[in-house]
């Protein structure tokens, strides 16, 4: 009985043991299935991490190529800035030369004004001479009356008639010479009038050219102001984009740190469940080492590119200096416009003076023609008279003095015409220089627009690269390496315990 009870108790204990063993095996199977599910999830997460690392590697290579391209573009920007400085220096020298030419032109205009004043004085003297000629004509009329009264006595004196006839012939020859000189003076006055008409036409064309140049310069100043305002707006937009990019980088860095903390916590919780992943972990370890090397290489490249990025504020300062130079050029151009307006006013004054002179010359021409007509009529009336001229008649010295005064006035008029031609040449040179300055400013605007387009493209590339970095869930290489080393140590300790 005791043996039977013992055997029964032993069977009950065996049955309980096997039941407990069955329960433990069921629990073990459930735990194994759960571990298998977790291991499959971990394998998928590791695969996604590998894909993310590959994407990070691609983005890093693209960033390295982009940084190289940006370094080349920055070098091109420096060369363009140097060229722009050289062009601005050339423009400043041209403006200085233009100001010197304007000063010379003002000096010549002052000289011309003095010459015109002298010419006015000479014309006044000439009018005084014409008044004296009128008085002499009145004296001639009185003398003709005296000659009519002395006609009876002249007919009585035959001997004196012969001598007076010879003297009258000499007087006729002198009158013929005087008529020839008067015809020459008429031709000279006609030539002077034609020259004055040509000068008036040239002055009108020059005034039209100046108006056209003024209009073109107004249009150019408006376009330059619009381009400068657009350039400022683009710089402000680029600055705002740069600030936005820095803020997005800070947020990405914070997200990466939080992601690293969460990954570290998950790895600490699942350290005891990676007994079957030794081979895959070794491969992952190798990939992590390669990724660490890639990160180290990229960090070296970034350190090499830091001085290039540090040159960006210098380029901004250079652009600000160029803007200041452009403003200085605008002020100089405004001064040039003011000087051209003043010169145009002076030319208008000269034109009015020349018109007044031409009117005076026309009046003189009419007076001379009237005087010639009256002298010719008196010559025909005195052909029947034979007498000796009185001591109050016109003398040849007076006629030669008048002709000398007219010759001097003609010489002065030719000198004024030469000065006006020189002024026209200087004005044409100034117009050519203004055209050259306008072309250089257009080239500067085109180069600035090209630089802005290149900087806009660089900013777009940087934004795309930063967006790729934000979308890629890549932790920092050093933290990943530390996590994998901790995992490898846990695996080694678990293997030693088993």
Give dist(CA 355, CA 410) in Å, integer.
Answer: 16
Which pLDDT score, from 0 to 100, does residue 292 have? 67
Mind listing the pLDDT tens digit of every residue in the chain (498 residues)? 566 566 666 667 767 776 776 777 777 778 777 877 877 777 787 778 778 778 877 877 777 777 777 777 777 777 777 777 777 777 777 777 777 777 777 777 777 767 777 767 766 776 666 666 667 667 766 666 766 666 666 565 555 556 656 665 666 666 666 566 666 666 765 666 676 566 566 656 666 765 666 666 566 556 656 665 665 676 566 566 656 655 655 565 566 566 556 655 655 555 555 555 556 656 666 766 776 676 667 667 666 666 665 666 676 677 677 667 767 766 776 676 666 666 667 666 766 776 676 676 667 667 766 766 666 565 555 444 444 444 444 455 655 666 666 666 666 666 666 766 676 667 667 667 766 766 776 676 677 667 666 666 766 666 566 566 555 544 444 554 555 555 556 555 544 544
Give dist(CA 9, CA 428) in Å, integer.
Answer: 133
* Cβ neighbours for 497, distance < 8 A, ≥ 6 positions apart: none
For 322-335, letters b (16+ CB in 10 Å) and e give beebbeebeebbee
Which pLDDT score, from 0 to 100, does residue 386 have? 42
Contact between 275 and 494 under an 8 Å Cβ cutoff? The reply is: yes
| CA dist list (Å): 36 to 46, 402, 493 | 15, 133, 21
Longest dimension (CA), the chain: 219
Give dist(CA 376, CA 383) in Å, integer.
Answer: 11
Number of residues written out for the chain? 498
Which pLDDT score, from 0 to 100, does residue 138 have? 74
Which pLDDT score, from 0 to 100, does residue 91 have? 73
Give dist(CA 248, CA 392) in Å, integer.
Answer: 111
Which pLDDT score, from 0 to 100, does residue 55 have? 81
The two structure tokens encoding residue 203: 């002055």
**Radius of gyration of the chain measured on its C-alpha atoms:** 55
3 state SS for the chain:
CHHHHHHHHHHHHHHHHHHHHHHHHHHHHHHHHHHHHHHHHHHHHHHHHHHHHHHHHHHHHHHHHHHHHHHHHHHHHHHHHHHHHHHHHHHHHHHHHHHHHHHHHHHHHHHHHHHHHHHHHHHHHHHHHHHHHHHHHHHHHHHHHHHHHCHHHHHHCHHHHHHHHHHHHHHHHHHHHHHHHHHHHHHHHHHHHHHHHHHHHHHHHHHHHHHHHHHHHHHHHHHHHHHHHHHHHHHHHHHHHHHHHHHHHHHHHHHHHHHHHHHHHHHHHCHHHCCCCHHHHHHHHHHHHHHHHHHHHHHHHHHHHHHHHHHHHHHHHHHHHHHHHHHHHHHHHHHHHHHHHHHHHHHHHHHHHHHHHHHHHHHHHHHHHHHHHHHHHHHHHCCCCCCCCCCCCCCHHHHHHHHHHHHHHHHHHHHHHHHHHHHHHHHHHHHHHHHHHHHHHHHHHHHHHHHHHHHHHHHHHHHHHHHHHHHCCCCCHHHHHHHHHHHHHHHHHHHHHC
The two structure tokens encoding residue 319: 């652009």
Burial of 413 by CB count in 10 Å (0-12 exposed, 13-18 middle, 19+ buried)? buried
* Cβ neighbours for 137, distance < 8 A, ≥ 6 positions apart: 371, 374, 375
The two structure tokens encoding residue 44: 């998928």
The domain ranges of the chain are 56-143+176-268+278-364+397-492
């Amino acid at each position: 009985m005791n043996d039977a009870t013992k055997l029964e108790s032993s069977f009950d204990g065996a049955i309980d043991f096997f039941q407990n063993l069955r329960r433990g095996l069921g629990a073990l199977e459930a735990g194994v299935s759960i571990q298998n599910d977790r291991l499959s999830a971990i394998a998928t997460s590791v695969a996604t991490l590998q894909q993310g690392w590959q994407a990070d590697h691609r983005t890093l290579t693209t960033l390295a190529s982009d940084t190289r391209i940006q370094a080349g573009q920055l070098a091109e920007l420096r060369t363009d800035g140097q060229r722009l400085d050289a062009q601005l220096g050339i423009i400043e020298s041209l403006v200085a030369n233009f100001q010197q030419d304007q000063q010379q032109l003002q000096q010549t205009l002052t000289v011309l004004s003095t010459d015109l004043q002298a010419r006015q004085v000479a014309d006044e003297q000439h009018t005084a001479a014409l008044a004296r000629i009128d008085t002499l004509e009145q004296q001639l009329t009185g003398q003709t009356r005296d000659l009519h009264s002395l006609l009876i006595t002249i007919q009585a004196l035959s001997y004196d008639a012969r001598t007076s006839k010879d003297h009258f012939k000499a007087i006729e020859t002198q009158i013929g010479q005087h008529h020839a000189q008067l015809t020459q003076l008429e031709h000279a006055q006609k030539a002077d009038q034609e020259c004055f008409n040509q000068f008036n036409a040239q002055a009108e064309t020059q005034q039209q050219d100046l108006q056209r140049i003024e209009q073109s310069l107004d249009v150019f100043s408006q376009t330059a102001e619009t381009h400068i305002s657009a350039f400022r707006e683009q710089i402000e937009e680029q600055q705002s984009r740069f600030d936005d990019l820095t803020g997005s980088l800070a947020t990405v860095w914070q997200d990466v740190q939080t992601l690293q903390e969460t990954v570290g916590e998950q790895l600490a919780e699942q350290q005891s469940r990676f007994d079957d992943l030794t081979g895959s972990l070794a491969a992952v370890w190798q990939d992590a080492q390669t990724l660490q090397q890639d990160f180290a290489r990229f960090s070296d490249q970034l350190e090499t590119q830091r001085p290039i990025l540090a040159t960006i504020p210098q380029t901004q300062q250079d652009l600000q200096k160029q803007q200041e130079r452009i403003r200085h050029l605008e002020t100089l151009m405004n001064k040039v416009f003011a000087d051209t307006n003043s010169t145009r006013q002076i030319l208008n004054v000269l034109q009015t003076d020349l018109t007044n002179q031409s009117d005076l010359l026309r009046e003189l021409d009419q007076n001379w023609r009237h005087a010639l007509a009256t002298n010719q009529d008196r010559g025909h009336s005195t052909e029947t008279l034979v007498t000796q001229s009185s001591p109050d008649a016109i003398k040849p010295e007076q006629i030669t003095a008048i002709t000398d005064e007219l010759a001097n006035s003609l010489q002065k008029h030719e000198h004024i015409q030469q000065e006006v031609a020189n002024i026209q040449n200087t004005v044409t040179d100034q117009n050519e220089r203004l055209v050259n300055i306008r072309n250089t400013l257009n080239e500067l605007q085109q180069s600035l627009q090209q630089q802005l387009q290149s900087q806009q493209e660089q900013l777009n590339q940087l934004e795309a690269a930063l967006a790729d970095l934000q979308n890629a869930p890549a932790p920092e290489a050093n933290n990943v390496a530390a996590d994998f080393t901790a995992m490898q140590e846990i695996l080694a300790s678990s293997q030693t315990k088993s």
